[in-house]
Amino acid sequence: AVIFILLLAYIYDLSCEREKNQKLLEEHQQLISEEAEYKNLLELTASLRQFKHDVQHHLNAIEYISHNGTPSELEEYILNFNGEIEETHKFITSGNMVIDTILSSKIPTAESKGIRVVYALSIPKAFNINPVNITTILGNLWNNSIEACEKLKNANINSLTPSIDFYIKPIQNMLLISIENTFNGIVRTKPDGTYLSTKEDDMYHGFGLQRVIKIIQENNGFIDVTNDNNKFCVHIMFPIKGDSIL
C-alpha cells in the first residue's frame, strides 16, 4: 500500500511538473511572438521616418521642376511619386497611434498575400487600454486571420475568396472590435469549446487566442468567438468612458 501511495505521489509530481513546463513553454513562445510584433512596429516606425525624410526631397524636386521644367515633366514626376507611395506605404489614420501603427503593418501584409481587406475605424478618445495589450490583441488576431486565409488559398476552394473584414466602433458605452475572416472550415476545439490551433506544433501556437482572452478579461472586456459557413468571427467589447470620437 505504501509503494502504491508513493507511486501515485510520484505520478502527481510528474503531472504538476509537466503542466509547469508547458506553461513556461507557452509564456516563452508568447514572449517571442510579442517581441516579433514589437520589432515589426519598430521597423514600420523607421520606415515612416525615412519616408518623411524622402518627402522633403520629393517636394524640393517638384518645386524645381515647376520652375524649370515643363508641365508634362512635372505631371510625370508627380504620378511616379504617387505610385511609389501607394506601392510602399499604406497609412492608416484613425487618430489612435498604436492601432494605426499595427494596421499600417498588417493590412499591407494581408493585401500582399492576395487577401481582400475591408476595414472601418471609429475610435473614441477615451479608449485608453495599455498599448502593449492592444498590440498583443490586434497582432494575434490579425496574424491568425492572415494565416487562416493563406490556408484557404492553399485549399483551392474556388467558391471562397480569402478575405478579412475588420472594424472598430463605439456602441453606447462600449467599444466593439470585430475581425472576421474566411477559412477552410477546419477547426479544433477542446471539450469545453475552447479553440485549438490547427498547426502541427500547437504546443507553441495554440495559446495565442487564450492570451488575447486573458488580456480582455483583465480589462473588464468580453469576447465572442464563432465560426459558421467558412467564416471565423471574433467580436470583442471593451467598456469606455465618455462619447468623444476622433
pLDDT confidence of residue 89: 59
Question: Per mean pLDDT, which range of 36-50, 93-107, 113-127, 162-176 is the poorest?
Answer: 36-50
pLDDT in tens, 75-89: 888 888 777 665 555
**Residue with cell string 501603427:** 101
- Is a pLDDT exceeding 80 seen at residue 114? yes
Model confidence over 6-16: pLDDT tens digits? Answer: 777 777 777 77
Q: What is the mean pLDDT of residues 168-173?
A: 92
pLDDT score of 122? 92
Query: Which one is predicted more confidently, 26 or 164?
Result: 164
Percent above pLDDT 70 for the chain: 72
The answer to whether 234 touches 224, Cβ cutoff 8 Å, is yes
